[in-house]
Structure formats: structure tokens, C-alpha cells
Structure 1
């Protein structure tokens, strides 16, 4: 049986999700699992799909990015499917792990994707270092530091650090750090 999995990260991507569903139905998927969630967080629908498939089934996705968030995550999914004797089809790549060629292609593609990500991260780090040297990049200002004046005002109004942290939605330790860095502004 062909089992389809469609995913979108946000509700604004409905057209993309509808296209995935249409493509999977045209392929002949008899069962569809659809989720609207980021690939980074929990994936309950993906888990349901993997639990649901049976020996001889094929889990079908339109693109690799709809299935896995990283190469290690992809291999975990593939291993779980192989344990159940279920193949994986990635339609836009023409990959079908039920065939030796499909397994070879998936391994090659996975390796290239991982290499590409590592090279991109190296280039990004080089660019950040260059920008820091030129004074163009300092990183983000911590949230609590941006609220220094408000933290001091609330403390001077008699609010305790734990309540300040809750009110401003910052960490309690951050509040203590701001107060310690500004002892002359805090009234005794």
C-alpha cells in the first residue's frame, strides 16, 4: 500500500500543502498523513505514519525536506522503516528505497546534503568573523539588557527579582545580573 505524508511548517503555506496532497493522491496513496508543524519540533503525525505502515508498504513524500530535518534524522526514519520492511519514496528525486539504485541514490544525496550544510556553516562563520573585525556584527543584544531601565524601575518600585522576571518574560538570573551591573541606580 502507498502511504502519503504531507507537511507544511506554517498555516500560511496552504497552497504548498494542497499541492503535496494532490500529488500524493495522484500517485495512488490510499492513506494520507498530513501535519502542519515545523520539522524541528515534535512530529506526532510522522510518528503516527511510521507506526501505521506495515510490511510491504511504501511511505511517500513529495520532497526530502517534508520528511526529515537533518541527515541523522533521515537515517533514523529510514532505519525504523527498514525494521518494518517498509520502503521510502521521495517523489521529486525519483528515489525508491525498495530498489538497490534507490538506496544508493538516497545515500549519495544524503551525503551531499550533509556536506553542503557543513560548507555553508563554515562560510557563515567566516563571514561573521569578518563582520565582527570590521565592527559590523556584534550579535544580538540580550533581551534583559535591552530592558535594563525597566528592570531598575520595577526594582525601585519595590518589585522582587522573581516577579520582575515574570513580568518582563526574562530569566530571573538575568534580572539579578542587570541589578548587579547597575548598583548605583538601584535604590536601597
Structure 2
């Protein structure tokens, strides 16, 4: 029986240290962590690794349920997958575990609250962006590709593959930039 910790933050500028310290204090022998959105399981390789290695009697420990996921159905599916392996899920704050029936009910409610909170966050973000647009201060997201450089290289006769390497993007992105210019 192993206690396996899982920590997650949504963005690279957020800090995992508090979660890691709590998981260590709970006696987790193994702790996996990642910096990725909890909106879905896509790209969450550390979570997939934890789930793949859970054995009967093991316990998956997270500091809060929203660290596991922000979609009720996904959280319930994760709990189900743990149970199918004979493993348990324990949330530190508030302390709830799937070892008892009451824990299932509480985790279902907490999963719904996490999903609702995510919707509120997105709604506030949308409202903030709309207000910033009305105030004329919204400039949009930071450009990840130097469009001017792509166009310059294309005018110089450089091929799409070489342009993609030069600006560190995919060929498809190069084609999308060049499409309106042609």
C-alpha cells in the first residue's frame, strides 16, 4: 500500500511548493506534479502516470479536489478508475476519502463546486476582457510568432519548412500566416 501524491497548478508562474509540502507532510512516498490546466485530462501526463501505476490498496492523495480536475464528470471518472484498481482517493482540504460511502457523496458535491468555480472564473475573465476592450486598454494575447519575420522570409523565397524552423512553429502555422498574404 502506497500513498501517492499528485500536485497541479494551472500556469507556469504559479508555485507548486505549498502543495508538495502538504503532500510530504501527509506521508506520500511518491509525489508527481505538473503545471497544466485542470479543465480536462489532455496533456496531463503526470496524472496518467499516477493512474497507470495505482495498485490495489494504494491511496491517491491531493491537497484539494480542484487540483485533480475542474470538471465534475472527469473527477468522478478519476474516482471510478481508482476504485476499479482497488485504490482510494483522499483529499486533504477538506479531509475526505473514498474509503467510506459518505466520502463519495462529499467528493461528488465538491466536484460540482470545482466545475462551477471554473465557470465563474471564465465568466469573470470574459467580463474583464470585454471591459478592457471598451476602455481601449485590451491589446489581445501576446504574439507567440513573429508574423513579420514569417512574411519577410517568405518574400525572400525561403520555404515553409525552413521558415517554421526559423520562427519555432509548425509549417501549418506558416501556411496560415501566408494564406491571407497571397
The reply to whether residue 4 of structure 1 matches residue 1 of structure 2 is: no
Q: Partners of 1:61 and 1:151 in 2: how far apart?
A: 44
8 Å Cα contact 2:7-2:63 kept in structure 1:
no
Structure 2 equivalent of residue 106 of structure 1? 107
The reply to whether residue 74 of structure 1 matches residue 71 of structure 2 is: no
Once the two structures are TM-superposed, the CA of residue 163 in structure 1 deviates from its matched residue by: 2.2
Q: Partners of 1:44 and 1:34 in 2: how far apart?
A: 10
**Which structure carries more helix by proportion?**
1
What value does the CA root-mean-square deviation take over the aligned residues?
3.1
The reply to whether residue 174 of structure 1 matches residue 176 of structure 2 is: yes
The alignment of Structure 1 onto Structure 2 pairs a total of residues equal to 171
3-state SS of the aligned residue for 1:34? strand
Q: Partners of 1:45 and 1:121 in 2: how far apart?
A: 24
Q: Partners of 2:111 and 2:8 in 1: how far apart?
A: 21
Q: Partners of 2:115 and 2:154 in 1: how far apart?
A: 49
Once the two structures are TM-superposed, the CA of residue 93 in structure 1 deviates from its matched residue by: 0.9
Within a 5 Å distance, the mapping from 1:75-154 to structure 2 comes to 75-140=76-141, 142-144=143-145, 146-148=146-148, 150-154=149-153
In structure 2, which of residues 35, 41, 44 is the aligned counterpart of residue 42 of structure 1? 44
Structure possessing the higher radius of gyration over alpha carbons: 1
Once the two structures are TM-superposed, the CA of residue 37 in structure 1 deviates from its matched residue by: 2.3
Residue-by-residue CA offset, 1:9-38 (whole Å, 9 max, x unaligned) = 57x95743651343122xxx5xx3322423
Structure 1 equivalent of residue 21 of structure 2? 19
> So what's the TM-score if we normalise by structure 2?
0.72
Once the two structures are TM-superposed, the CA of residue 164 in structure 1 deviates from its matched residue by: 2.2
> So what's the TM-score if we normalise by structure 1?
0.70
Change (3 A) 1:2 1:91: farther
